[in-house]
Amino acid sequence: MKSGNIYMDNCITTAPAPEVLVEMKTYLTDGFWFPASFISTGESTAEAVASFKQTVADSLNASPDELHFTSGGTLANNISIKGVTLSRAVRGRHVICSVVDYPDLLTNAAFLEKIGFEVSYLEPDAQGRVSPQQLKDAIRDDTVLFMTTIVNHVVGTIQPMREYRDVLRAAGHKIHFHADACQAYGKLPLDVKELDVDTLSVSAHKIHGPQGIGALYVKHGTKLEQIIHGVKRIDGLQPGGIGIALMAGFAKAVELTFADLEGGIRHLRGLSDYLLEQLEARIPEIELNGPRGEGRACHNINVSIAYIEGEAVTMMLDLNGITVATGSACASQGLKPSYVLLAMGKNHVQSHGSMKFTLSRYNTREEVDFVVEKLAEITAELRSRSPLYKSTHPEER
C-alpha cells in the first residue's frame, strides 16, 4: 500500500464515522431547536433527546434518567468529582485515587487538596495495575470518594473493577465510587449495575462520535452538589445549551459500536495482537509496556524501543503519513517523560523510547504491516545515528 494517512492515535480522539456525520446534519439544519413543551419544534426535539439518552443509557445498562449529557468526558469527571466531594465534605474529606489515573482525575485531586481535602495516591505495579489490597489499606473512616480510570490511557491496563467494588462494599460506610470510562467505553463491556459504580464518565469522540459531547452516569439516589450554574436547557447537571446534533452523533456512534460490541472487541484484539507480534518479530530490543493479553484493553499497544528517542520516531512516521504517540519528554508540552511509565518503574530512557499505538475499527492488517515496515526502517536508521546503540553494539561499527 502507498504512504497515506494511517491513524493509530485513537486514544486521543477518533475519526467521526460517516454515519455519525449524516445523522448530525439533520440536527444542525431542521432539528436545531432545544427541547420544550407545547410547541411542535420543542416537543420533537425533546423526543429525539429522550431517544439519544435511551441509546447511550442502554450501552451501559443504565436507566435514561441516570444518564446526563455533558460537553465531554472532562466535564463529566468534574461534575462528578467536585459534585460528590462538595456534597459529602461534612461527612469526610479524604479521597483515594492512583498516581496513574487520567489527568482529569489527578488535576481534580490536586484541586481538592488545595481546598482542604486529603488525597491518598495508590501506586501501580510494574504492569500499571493498582491492587485492590492497596485500596483496602487506604480506606479511612473519613474516606468519601474513590475514583479510578478503568483503562489506563498510556498502557491500556484494565483495573480490577470488580475487586474494587467488593472492597468498597465491605468498607463499613458509604464511599462514592467514580470511574472514568472514557478509554474503556466500546473496548470492553461496561455494566454500571454489575460494576456498582456511583458515577461513570464516557466520551463520544473516543468511539467515532463527535468531539464536544460526553455523558455522566449517576446512580439513582446519588447526591451531587451543583458545580455549574445557569439556565436549564437539556440537563440539570450541566446547565446551558448542549448541542442536539452532538447528542445525535453520539447516539449514532453508540449504535454503531454496540451493534456488535463483542465482534468489535475481537477485531481490535486480533489486530493489536498481530501488531505486537510483528513489532517483536521485526524490531530487535523492543519491550512491551504494560500487561500482555487479556489484562490490557484490546486497542492499545505500547512499546519501548531501545537506544532511540520517541519524538524523532514520531516525526519520521508522520513524514510517512502515520500518526502515533510517544511518551518522550521531548514531544511533551512540559518536557517531562510519561508519569505513567515512570510510576510503573520504567526509567527515563524507556519513556523517551516509548511508542503508543491505539487502534480503531477502521485500521486494517495492511496498515499494521505498513506501519511495522516503516518503523523497522526508521529504527534501523535512528540506531545507526545513536551513540547509545553504537556503544552497546560495537560489532556494528
Residue 188 CB contacts under 8 Å (≥ 6 apart), including other chains: 150, 151, 158, 265, 297, 298
- Chain center to CA of 72: 12
Q: Which of 3, 51, 133, 347 binds other proteins (CB under 8 A)?
A: 347
Residue 309 sits in the site that holds other proteins (CB under 8 A) = yes
* Piece of 48-56, 177-185, 302-310, 363-371 that binds other proteins (CB under 8 A): 302-310
Distance of closest approach, residue 232 Cβ to other proteins, in angstroms: 36
Side chain identity, residue 214: G
Q: Select from 68, 205, 352, 356 the one that contacts other proteins (CB under 8 A).
A: 352
Phi/psi zone of residue 61: left (φ > 0), alpha (ψ -120 to 50 degrees), beta? left
- Which one of 90-98, 104-112, 167-175, 384-392 is the stretch in contact with other proteins (CB under 8 A)? 384-392
220 binds other proteins (CB under 8 A): no
**Residue 330 makes contact with other proteins by CB under 8 A:** yes
Using CB under 8 A, which of the segments 22-30, 107-115, 162-170, 348-356 binds other proteins? 348-356
376 binds other proteins (CB under 8 A): no
Nearer to other proteins, 143 or 350 (CB): 350
Rounded to a whole number of angstroms, the minimum distance from the CB of residue 389 to other proteins is 8
- Tell me which residues are annotated as active site: 330
Set of cell numbers at residue 106: 489527578
Selected range binding other proteins among 94-102, 115-123, 252-260, 380-388, rule: CB under 8 A: 380-388
Nearer to other proteins, 91 or 390 (CB): 390
Asked if 276 is part of the footprint of other proteins (rule: CB under 8 A), the reply reads no
Burial of 112 (0-12, 13-18, 19+ CB in 10 A): buried
28 binds other proteins (CB under 8 A): no
Please report, as residue ranges, which positions from 83 to 112 form the binding site for other proteins (by CB under 8 A).
none
Cα distance between residue 283 and residue 296, in whole Å: 22
Which has the closest alpha carbon to 207: 179, 186, 192?
A: 186
Q: Which is nearer to other proteins, 142 or 311 (CB)?
A: 311
Q: How far is the CB of 229 from other proteins (least distance, A)?
A: 28
Q: How far is the CB of 110 from other proteins (least distance, A)?
A: 13
Residue 311 binds other proteins (CB under 8 A) = yes
Contacts of 183 (CB under 8 A, 6+ apart): 11, 102, 149, 150, 151, 152, 153, 156, 206, 297
Q: How far is the CB of 376 from other proteins (least distance, A)?
A: 17
User: What residues have CB less than 8 Å from 319, skipping those under 6 apart?
Assistant: none
Name beta bridge partners: 67.
Answer: 217
**Residue 3 in contact with other proteins, rule: CB under 8 A:** no
User: In degrees, to the nearest 5, what angle opens at C-alpha 250 toward C-alphas 324 and 363?
Assistant: 30
* Sign, Cα dihedral of 271, 272, 277, 280: positive
Q: Which is nearer to other proteins, 51 or 347 (CB)?
A: 347
Complete DSSP assignment for 195-217: HT-SEEEEEGGGTTS-TT-EEEE
DSSP symbol at 395 = G
User: Which residues make Cβ contacts (< 8 Å) with residue 17, sequence separation at least 6?
Assistant: 208, 209, 252, 253, 256
316 binds other proteins (CB under 8 A): yes
Cα separations in angstroms, 251 against 50, 103, 294, 348, 357: 11, 26, 28, 41, 26
Q: What's the rounded Cα separation, in Å, for the pair 355 and 41?
A: 50
329, 339, 373, 376: residue in contact with other proteins (rule CB under 8 A): 329
Which span sits near other proteins by CB under 8 A: 96-104, 184-192, 257-265, 312-320?
312-320
Among 114, 231, 387, 395, binds other proteins (CB under 8 A): 387
Q: Indicate whether 348 belongs to the interface with other proteins (CB under 8 A).
A: yes
The least distance separating other proteins from the CB of residue 315, rounded to whole angstroms, comes to: 5
Ramachandran class of 40: left when φ > 0, alpha when ψ lies in -120 to 50, beta otherwise: alpha
Size, binding site for other proteins by CB under 8 A:
28
- Is 380 a binding residue for other proteins by CB under 8 A? The answer is no
* Residue whose grid cell is 553494539: 393
Residue 388 touching other proteins (CB under 8 A): yes
Binding positions for other proteins, rule: CB under 8 A:
307-309, 311-312, 315-316, 319, 328-331, 333-336, 347-349, 352, 384-390, 397
